[in-house]
Structure 1
């Protein structure tokens, strides 16, 4: 039994297809199949039911896969332990970032991080919070940047900053004349929202959950882009809420439509998160210190009310 055989087996279990698994393992399909067959012969047990389409795990196969994950994860940590002992900051580091944070935060720290840590190969992927939690659990990414708290005991959260919500209100809107807006002023049916899957949408809905609505809006729109929401709002089709960093690049005309909340403003908590068993702590500390250094000049809010991204019943 070898680590390589276990890795091939895990790939087939994940992709449910020998050809696709071989592509992700960068080997030929016959090589992968042969190694898995050797493992099954050694164990005298069938891991996969190959007659099913897609391929399914046998009952004993499910138990083997669970143990294989533990063994492969622990084998990967040997290199991490050596790097940590030496204080070496380098190697591959896989980072997930949610879509509503990536466009604003990534340009702020990426160049600085690359300059300070040239031996690190940072692999960045835009993922939803749900995808991030799954990939952290499965060991497919090392860390992520997301809105918190997530209330997941297996995941550690290191707060990076608190980002207030800001209203973007067109001239025709009932709240336009107010210098500052209140949470009680909001009506969820009166707000242009991001589409499902974005935790910022969930935070906005949680913020407005107790408010009654008298909206006479004749349409409902959900978009995957803050840029689209900004354009529609400017055209008088409704107000929207933006994270503070998304307001910094607006032009002067667009900024005239911005309205801050009364103190304490609602805000989202943005954290660097990772699995509790993560050992690449020297890389995590390097990433956090880099983001801390660049974000400090952009956000200096402390008196805020954190709005959870978790959906409430």
Structure 2
């Protein structure tokens, strides 16, 4: 048994197809198939069920794949320790971030990252929260920027900032006449929300519960931009995170933004990484850049002009 064969097995588990797994592993399909069979012979168990249309792992195969991922991740950590010792600020950082934050936060941070870590190769992965957490646990990414709470004792949580929400309403909606409202003013309102799987949906539902509001039935958006356009079309009202309404994001005609009085509802943003990560010290320094946002960027105050 060697690391190469474990990589082949993990690739097969991910792609469930010998051809695609071989392509991902940069070997020929016969080579990958032969090495998998040799691994089965060495272990004395069947790891793969070969069917005419797809490849399935046996029960023991699934368990061994999980262990193989752990082994490969630990080997990668060893390599990272060596590289970071030689030059802590070079190399590659694989960072996951969720779709309702990434496009609106990164333009304000990337220039500072390039200036502070000019030799760093930053690879960004935009996925929903559950995918980022899975990839983080499997060692496929190094860190993730997510909204709290996240319950996982294996992950270190570095809090970054709180991002307030504002209310987006059509220009002829009665709420548009107010520059600011109380959370209670949403009582009995029905809000447009994102589809299942988006953490923003869960956060908005929590706000709805606090305010006594509900969800607009029969509609669920796939992105913040869809929500914004539905408000412009006078379909309903919604909550938007403040970074999604600040420049360089363009304003949308026929949409009015209303802030909340007092302490506005907000989502709590943090960077997470494995406690076992060899990059722990560097990631702490990297996270600090996400706290140094431009003045006023997280201010929910809306310019009425």
TM-score by length of 1: 0.84
- Cross-structure match for 1:156: 156
Aligned residues: 299
- Cross-structure match for 2:239: 241
Give secondary structure in 1 for the equivalent of 2:197: coil
Q: What is the CA distance between 1:165 and its match in structure 2?
A: 0.5
Identify the range of structure 1 (94-103 vs 284-293) with the bigger mean alpha-carbon deviation. 284-293
- Cross-structure match for 2:15: 15
Identify the range of structure 1 (169-178 vs 136-145) with the bigger mean alpha-carbon deviation. 169-178
- Cross-structure match for 1:73: 73
CA RMSD across the alignment = 2.7
- Cross-structure match for 2:92: 92
Q: What is the CA distance between 1:188 and its match in structure 2?
A: 7.1
- Cross-structure match for 2:283: 284
Q: What is the CA distance between 1:23 and its match in structure 2?
A: 1.3
Deviation track 1:122-177 (CA, whole Å, cap 9, x = no partner) reads 11121001111111111111111111111222322211111101112334323233
Q: Is the 8 A contact 1:17 1:54 kept in 2?
A: yes
Q: Distance in 2 between matches of 1:187 and 1:29?
A: 60
Q: What is the CA distance between 1:17 and its match in structure 2?
A: 1.6
Give secondary structure in 1 for the equivalent of 2:167: strand
In structure 1, stretches of 5+ residues that fail to align are: 302-313
Q: What is the CA distance between 1:268 and its match in structure 2?
A: 0.4
Matches within 5 A, 1:41-190: 41-51=41-51, 53-187=53-187, 190=190
Q: Distance in 2 between matches of 1:4 and 1:10?
A: 10
- Cross-structure match for 2:262: 263
Matches within 5 A, 1:35-46: 35-46=35-46
Q: Distance in 2 between matches of 1:83 and 1:281?
A: 14
TM-score by length of 2: 0.86
Q: What is the CA distance between 1:49 and its match in structure 2?
A: 2.3
Give secondary structure in 1 for the equivalent of 2:65: helix
Q: Is the 8 A contact 2:170 2:255 kept in 1?
A: no
Q: What is the CA distance between 1:87 and its match in structure 2?
A: 4.9
- Cross-structure match for 2:228: 230
Q: Distance in 2 between matches of 1:105 and 1:193?
A: 21
Q: What is the CA distance between 1:105 and its match in structure 2?
A: 0.7
Q: Is the 8 A contact 1:83 1:89 kept in 2?
A: no
Q: Is the 8 A contact 1:84 1:281 kept in 2?
A: no
- Cross-structure match for 1:307: none
